[in-house]
Structure 1
């Protein structure tokens, strides 16, 4: 018996234990870089912001006036509900918080691979735990994902919540949770998941839209009762101050607006061009998400709307592109071995975002004698990469699975996704 066959014959617990070890080994690369060898004054700066918000509530200092320690001096920029959720962090030493938060991000990214790649994973039989680990490893190394680990960011949890809320068949842990609740909670922590409410409205999914909005309103009002001064400070001032997020024209802002702020035009012309591009890209993205929904491909649906959260937002940092994990598995589909073009396309997205091209662009621009247009292209590479990913999503969604007739446009919930019955049958 070959070593591979021996592993397949192991008890399920042993195979899952090996999968955990493989994921942790993969995560050790960004962890060593960003938690062991990274400068102390830049260590886990965003999770420090979250923790300080919890400290502010417990000590009575203003949530939105407090800053992290020098040299970062970063303010809290999220809604008050996020500050409430950060209270438990205040009871844990900051050094421990950074490590625990990183472990949670790795676990959340693994869960995203599990939920986004389920159509592919269920075909691997006894190899499922190992396949999950091997598919998760390159996702952890993606530039946006490793950047989330670098800063101690919240994006992995936002992506996971929205993915679980929209994926069909619905995850078992959510069978008693109405669709829209997790999107509403995500909106209460960070405003950008509101793009999913727009998607609900475009598709006349009134119940999900109402559930998401009511959830967000109830949570926000509850936070207002708990933190009236902080709520007034956020909704009455901090929310309207874009400078609290950092320099919008900086390389890290890879939204369409960030691209235009760097390359022009400036002033009214730039604002008009941005609105036109937002309208064009938004129309394409939401039409693609609608087609995915009607074809029953919930993974492509989430991927397309997630890209809208990046491209259409005024500010979208590189780590906001955690959505690329979902995009990769949407392009791979249920059985990429039947059409290997899917593997090449998913590989192209993965390879593109494994690179740190925006920072390559900065290095290029620091050489005055080198052609500046090449540096500008590299500097804005993730904006172009997001548009490329949107195009590949469109291409993959229009591919006909070999041996099928395609999804029924008039019957949402059927088509590209494998049914839950098929999954259970394959597992047994």
Structure 2
């Protein structure tokens, strides 16, 4: 039997691996990156928090030139961002990057737990090694580039549905609800709960989101009216929807499809078809007792069905890879995971835009590359469908366990 390493030794090795792995990315985006593009998204959150402190209109304030980015999130996100005002912007960029790496590592430890269980007692170190390629996935590294929140949203939703219930986690859905109050896209899990008839989780999630939203409205009534009464419905606040960075179904159709009513009808049809497939897959994963594939499938719905889904929103692909890998014993699943990993490691959309801009031969291939992350999301759905079994005996056992959890009283 392999002797268990000391926790302190494992901790030091984990930190060393993660720091060394992230160093090239951090050096590129935090040291050599142009100052006027430095951590532009975390700056949006920080400026919103500063607006709360100084009493400025949150949704009228822009970040410094040349970005001039507005705050596009619910007022609760501005309140959650208040600790950002306690440190300088430069220090915040480094702290935020470290937090994103830690969140990605925590996500890997949960999502790849079936694989990591095979390498006890070194699972913590093995988790760090698995995290290394995940940090270099373009959606994840772009999160570091911009100072985004996606790593935290993915971790919150995954932990909510994949971690066991206990004294500090009595009801599923609460963390998803709070994540939705910060950024609306996790609200897609509410649809999943309804499809699965998981009324307890749906109620908990909606209540958590509503409580956070009402609390923010009491503190910031004018900002609440400004967001729900105007800023939310203004697509121009999100940036150029037709740009290559928008890898949602709508983004692809804006670039390739018809305009006007015909384009809208085509998008709604695509949303209906992909939504039915995606939510059916998520329900199938839930009934089969596979929460990793379940959260991965719903996460893909959050990006594919959204009107706008930037490249960094595809941070859910970490869960897709974990769900495909499983326990690492199935060679076919490893091949599937390798395909998705390679797909999202490559900067395919930017290769495509270069191809189109230079008018190289076989222009249609450049267009495919330009829209490849949306296509990669659809491919991920197809591969997950191949590996998620229909509910069998094991799935029924998992369903019985979950049903018993749902029947527990709130105060139990």
CA contact (8 A) 1:407 1:414 kept: no
CA contact (8 A) 2:4 2:122 kept: no
Measured in 2, the distance between the counterparts of 1:9 and 1:301 equals 33
Measured in 1, the distance between the counterparts of 2:362 and 2:305 equals 29
Which residue is 2:128 aligned to?
Answer: 133
The 5-angstrom pairing of residues 103-142 of structure 1 reads 103-142=98-137
Measured in 1, the distance between the counterparts of 2:140 and 2:167 equals 25
Structure 1, unaligned stretches of length 5 or more?
416-428
The 5-angstrom pairing of residues 43-58 of structure 1 reads 43-58=38-53
1:378 offset after TM fit, Å?
0.6
Q: How many residues end up aligned between the 2 structures?
A: 401
Structure 1 counterpart of 2:399, from 381, 405, 412: 412
Structure 2, unaligned stretches of length 5 or more?
403-412
Which residue is 1:394 aligned to?
Answer: 385
Which residue is 1:304 aligned to?
Answer: 297
1:231 offset after TM fit, Å?
0.5
Task: String of CA shifts for 1:57-81, please: whole Å, max 9, x gaps.
Answer: 1111100000000000000000000
CA contact (8 A) 1:293 1:413 kept: no
The 5-angstrom pairing of residues 103-182 of structure 1 reads 103-170=98-165, 174-176=168-170, 178-182=171-175
1:328 offset after TM fit, Å?
0.6
CA contact (8 A) 1:295 1:414 kept: no
Structure 2 counterpart of 1:363, from 354, 363, 366: 354
Measured in 1, the distance between the counterparts of 2:50 and 2:134 equals 33
Task: String of CA shifts for 1:320-359, please: whole Å, max 9, x gaps.
Answer: 00000011111111x222x211111111111110001001
Task: String of CA shifts for 1:207-261, please: whole Å, max 9, x gaps.
Answer: 1101111111111111001001100100000001011010001111000000000
Measured in 2, the distance between the counterparts of 1:123 and 1:64 equals 50
1:406 offset after TM fit, Å?
5.8
Which residue is 2:406 aligned to?
Answer: none
- TM-score by structure 1 length? 0.91
1:175 offset after TM fit, Å?
2.9
Q: CA RMSD in A?
A: 1.7
CA contact (8 A) 1:294 1:410 kept: no
CA contact (8 A) 1:297 1:413 kept: no
Q: Secondary structure at the match of 1:412?
A: helix
Q: Secondary structure at the match of 2:65?
A: coil
Measured in 2, the distance between the counterparts of 1:125 and 1:10 equals 10
